[in-house]
Amino acid sequence: MNQRLDSNIEINSAFTDCLVLLLSQEEPQLETWSKNLLTFFSKEITLNQGSFFLSYKQKDCYQCIYTTHSETLPEILKEDIQKQEAFILDALYPSKLQQYSGNSYALILPLYQDQDYLLGFLRLDFSEVVTNTILGLLYTLHPFINQSFKQLYREFLQVKEIEVLKAMNNSMEVSQQTMQEDVNHTRSLHKQLTASLQYAKRIQEASLPTDQVLSSTFEEYFILHKPRNIVSGDFYWCSRLDYTFLAVVDCTGHGVPGALMSMMANTLLNEIVNIQRETDPAIVLLMLHKGVEDILKQKENDNVDGMDIGLCRLHRDDDFKLNLIFAGAKNSLFVHHQSELVQLKGDRISLGGQQHIEDIRFTNQKMMLDDGDTLYLTTDGYIDAANEYREKIGMQRFQTLLTDHAHLPMVEQGDRLQEVLNTHQRGTTQRDDITIVGVKV
C-alpha cells in the first residue's frame, strides 16, 4: 500500500491538489479531464488502472473514453474490464469496494445521474485492499468530481448538438446541391425533349395543306388549329385531283401518341384517295378503318386506338351546280346555306378500334350548295372545352356562334371563335386538341 497518504497532512494535501486540478483545467474536453484526473489518482494511490466510461447513444450502453495502463494489472482483471456488463450495475451501488477474484478490487464512482439514468462513471482497479483512509479521500472528493463532470457533460452535449447541426447543415447542403443537379438535369432533358417535339411539329405541319393549296381551292377559309401539346392528334387534310376533298380528323389521344396516329391516318388518306383514286367518301372511310385495323394489328391484340373524321367531297355537275357528298365517323359537318345552319351528322361509329361489328358501313349524305355557302368541320375539342367551373362551350352555343358570325369574312369568323374560346378558358388548362376548318365555296 502506498504510504504517502498515511498522515492527515498528506491526505489534506492530496485533497487540495485534486481540487486545484479540477478547477485549473481551462475548457477541457472529457477525455482530457478524465486523463488528468486518473493520472493524478495513479500517482497518489496504489492504482493499477483507472477507467472513465460515458453513456453512449442508448441507456445502459457505455463507451470507455480513457483508460490508464499498468503492466502489473492481472489478466483476469483485464478480462473483467472488457466485460463491461459485469460491473455496470455496481455503479448504482458505490458504497463499498467490490472484490472480483483473488486480490483484485474495483471501486465505481458514479457521475451525474439524470433521474435514474447514469450518464458516466469512474472505475478504479486495485491489486490489493484499499485502506479506509484512501476510500474516505475518494468519497470526499466524489461530489467535487461529480460537479466538475456535470459542467463538462453539459458542454459536451452542446458540442454534440453543434456537431449534429453541422452534419444536418452539411447534409442539407449536399441535398440542395443534389436537388439542383437534378433540376439542371431535368431542365436539360426538358430542353432536349422540347427541341425534339418542336422538330416533330415542323414535320407534322409540313404534312398539312398549305395556304397556297387552300386559297386556290376555296374562295375564303379560316383554320383554328390549337394542339393541346406541341404536336397534335388532330389534323386537317385537302386533296384536289378528280374531286375536291376536305377532311378534319381527330385521332385517339393527344401529344406524341396522337401525333403518331395522325401521321398514319394522313398517309392512309393520301394512299386511298390520291394513289388508289377512291372517290366515294363512305368507301374512303371504310378503307381507312380497315387500314388502321391492319397497321395496328387490332384483330390480334387489345389495341383500341382509332379516329373520328368528317370527310367532304365537292364537285360541279354538268350544269355547273355545286354538289356536296359528306361521310362522317362521329364527326358532323355544319353548312350555312340560305341563311340557315344545317348539321349533317356522321355515323355513330369511330374508325379503327375494336368495334365488334361484323359488317361496318358508312353513310353518304348529299346536298346541293349555292356559291357563297360556308362549310364547317370540327373535332370535339372546341365544343368540349371547359371553363374553371367545368362548364363546356357545348354544341348549342357552338352552332349559335357559327350562325351569328356567318355574315363575317371567314378570317374574322375564325378570330371570333378564338376570342370566345380564350374568354371561356381563362384560368384553365386546355384539355384536348382543338381544330375547326371553315371554308366558303
Burial class from Cβ neighbours inside 10 Å (0-12, 13-18, 19+) for residue 393 reads: buried
Spatial separation of the C-alpha atoms in residues 64 and 2, rounded to whole Å: 27
The crossing angle, in degrees rounded to 10, of helices 394-405 and 410-424 is 150
CA quadruple 312, 273, 207, 266: dihedral positive or negative?
positive
Model pLDDT, residue 25:
56
3-state secondary structure of 107: strand
Owner of C-alpha cell 360541279? 316
Q: Which residues pair with 108 in a beta bridge?
A: 123
Spatial separation of the C-alpha atoms in residues 321 and 14, rounded to whole Å: 129
Domain ranges, ordered by start, for the chain: 3-169, 207-440
Tell me which of 270 and 118 has the higher pLDDT. 270
Tell me the three cell numbers of residue 26: 481551462
Q: Which residues of 306-316 are buried (b: 16+ CB within 10 A; e: fewer)?
A: bbbbbbbbbee
3-state secondary structure of 234: strand
Per-residue confidence at 99, pLDDT binned at 50, 70, 90? low
What stretches of 47-101 show up as alpha helix (H) in DSSP? 75-82, 85-88
3-state secondary structure of 70: coil
Residue 313 has pLDDT above 50, yes or no: yes
What is the tens place of the pLDDT at every residue in 2-56? Answer: 444 455 555 566 666 666 666 565 556 777 888 888 888 777 776 777 777 777 5
Spatial separation of the C-alpha atoms in residues 29 and 211, rounded to whole Å: 85
Residue 104 has pLDDT above 50, yes or no: yes
Same fold, 3-169 and 207-440: no
Spatial separation of the C-alpha atoms in residues 414 and 376, rounded to whole Å: 11
Per-residue confidence at 74, pLDDT binned at 50, 70, 90? very low
Spatial separation of the C-alpha atoms in residues 104 and 124, rounded to whole Å: 11
Smallest Cα–Cα separation from 239: which of 206, 214, 263? 214
Contacts of 291 (CB under 8 A, 6+ apart): 268, 271, 272
Neighbours of 229 (CB within 10 A): 15
Order of strands across the sheet with 105-114? 58-67, 49-56, 117-126, 105-114, 98-99
What's the whole-model pTM score? 0.64
Tell me the three cell numbers of residue 53: 466510461
3-state secondary structure of 152: helix
Spatial separation of the C-alpha atoms in residues 76 and 361, rounded to whole Å: 101
Classify strands 374-378 and 434-440 as parallel, antiparallel or unpaired: antiparallel
Model pLDDT, residue 298:
87
The whole-chain average pLDDT of the chain stands at 82
Mean pLDDT, residues 264-281 taken together = 95
Phi, then psi, of 25 in degrees rounded to 5: -75, 120
Check if CATH label 3.30.450.40 holds for domain 3-169. yes
Per-residue confidence at 91, pLDDT binned at 50, 70, 90? very low
Assign residue 405 a region (left: φ > 0; alpha: ψ between -120 and 50; beta: otherwise). Answer: alpha
Model pLDDT, residue 27:
53
Residue 140 has pLDDT above 50, yes or no: yes
Q: How many residues does the chain have?
A: 441
The region of weakest confidence among 106-115, 180-189, 239-248, 327-336 is 106-115
Tell me which of 150 and 291 has the higher pLDDT. 291
What is the tens place of the pLDDT at every residue in 379-412? Answer: 999 999 999 888 999 999 999 999 999 999 999 9
Tell me which of 435 and 42 has the higher pLDDT. 435
What is the tens place of the pLDDT at every residue in 194-221? Answer: 888 888 889 899 999 999 999 999 989 9
Model pLDDT, residue 52:
77
The region of weakest confidence among 268-277, 299-308, 370-379, 402-411 is 299-308
Model pLDDT, residue 300:
85
Tell me which of 269 and 254 has the higher pLDDT. 269
Assign residue 335 a region (left: φ > 0; alpha: ψ between -120 and 50; beta: otherwise). Answer: beta
One-character DSSP codes across 375-441: EEEE-HHHHT-B-TT--B-HHHHHHHHHHHHTTS-HHHHHHHHHHHHHHHTTTS---S-EEEEEEE-
Residue 284 has pLDDT above 50, yes or no: yes
- What's domain 207-440's architecture? 4-Layer Sandwich (3.60)
Per-residue confidence at 180, pLDDT binned at 50, 70, 90? confident
- For 333-383, the three-class secondary structure string (H helix, E strand, C coil) is EEEEECCEEEEECCECCCEECCCCCCCCCCCCEEEEECCCCEEEEECHHHH
Contact 245, 327 (CB under 8 A): no
